[in-house]
Amino acid sequence: MKTYKIACIPGDGIGKEVIPAGQEVLQALAGGGAGFDFQFTSFGWGGDWYRAHGTMMPDDGLEQIRGMDAILFGSAGDPHIPDHITLWGLRLKICQGFDQYANVRPTRILPGIDAPLKRCGPADLDWVIVRENSEGEYAGVGGRAHQGHPIEVATDVSILTRAGVERIMRFAFRLAQSRPRKLLTVVTKSNAQRHGMVMWDEIALAVSKEFPDVRWDKELVDACTARMVNRPASLDTLVATNLHADILSDLAAALAGSLGIAPTGNVDPERRYPSMFEPIHGSAFDIMGKGLANPVGTFWSCVMLLEHLGEKEAAARLMQAIEEITADPKLHTGDLGGKAKTTEVTAAVIARLKNR
Ligand code: ATP
């Protein structure tokens, strides 16, 4: 039997509640007839680690998880630590250290979820946003000079490389090709950003020639927000830069009903390093420790993790169980207007997996 080594990094806030729930659900799928098992190792990195050691993770942290098959990540964020430290010190360190250059965010309106777009049925919103995850404004290039003086200057330089853009375009075209509609929207801003985004457009056109069966179009990022609201069914797979996709994917999550549901994968398509799967929500300190966190975003992230491992059947079983529980309003947590607790939702998913 194949044993997958999974690194669990709950991080901060409700990450400490939803990641153990995800682990329980994954364990319920393993063993026996499944043909695979899991070996979980938990790492207590994040805000508490920072308070004790002065860093968000140990210096040799990447080495400790390099040999894993995948990473299940909760969230990094702490009201008492600046956001740029929690973000750059853990999540981005892993994404960049393991060159997880494709961030993949599926968005759908799951059964039973009251989404804000009244004219939009579940079938009209089925997107995957591909976010370039290694460069752009998040490359870390820039600096500050004359600090504290009136002439202070600060820059964040957006880095786009030909190799970086080519690999994310190829990934996005391939993903679009694998989906039934074979439709890709390349999000751009080449009217105003006259250098990097013009190269982005040129490379999109060049890579499109390798995928003659994929229909594709270009959309300015500002117009794309309106299109997501007004014509959601005209979109399927989208590819955008790090910053543009960061914003679009939060809009997508809100349009699908709740931040608490949406998953994401930080993927190294070449599989040189472990890929990392996580709910898109943050640490939500306002509800932490009360058992109120919606674990569905983590469960859906577990579906993506299973698909990445090649366990398609287990992934489909888990997705079906998730859709059955979202369809039942008694199993909705507070973010969805319900009263269910994290433990009740988790137990309900596990019960459905066991009954199958
Ligand atoms: P961070 O600073 O780590 O990004 P945050 O608390 O500012 O975290 P989020 O956690 O992304 O931001 O979410 C904002 C709010 O949405 C939370 O304060 C919480 O009330 C709600 N929320 C987010 N995720 C969930 C969830 N899984 N279950 C229930 N409510 C959630």
pLDDT at 123: 84
d(CA 103, ligand 1 centre) in Å: 20
Mean pLDDT, the chain, rounded, equals 96
Note the pLDDT tens digit of each residue in 19-38: 999 999 999 999 878 899 99
Note the pLDDT tens digit of each residue in 267-301: 999 999 999 999 999 999 999 999 999 999 999 99
pLDDT at 355: 77
| Res. 120: pLDDT tops 90 | no
Tell me, yes or no, if the two domains 1-103+262-356 and 116-131+161-255 fold the same way: no
Q: CB within 6 Å of ligand 1 — which residues?
A: 14, 75, 77, 259-260, 281-287, 293-294, 297, 333-335
pLDDT at 33: 84
Q: Which whole number is the average pLDDT over 324-335? A: 96
pLDDT at 122: 78
What is this structure's pTM? Answer: 0.94
Spatial separation of the C-alpha atoms in residues 302 and 235, rounded to whole Å? 25
pLDDT at 247: 95
Inter-residue contact 45 to 94 (CB < 8 Å)? no
What CATH number is given for 1-103+262-356 in this structure?
Answer: 3.40.718.10
Spatial separation of the C-alpha atoms in residues 93 and 96, rounded to whole Å? 5
Per domain, the residue ranges of the chain are 1-103+262-356, 116-131+161-255
Domain 116-131+161-255 CATH (choose: 3.30.70, 3.40.50, 3.40.640, 1.20.120): 3.40.50
| Res. 118: pLDDT tops 80 | no
Note the pLDDT tens digit of each residue in 50-77: 999 999 999 999 999 999 999 999 999 9
d(CA 18, ligand 1 centre) in Å: 12
Inter-residue contact 71 to 65 (CB < 8 Å)? yes
Q: For residue 278, give the nearest of 251, 254, 308, 236 by alpha carbon.
A: 308
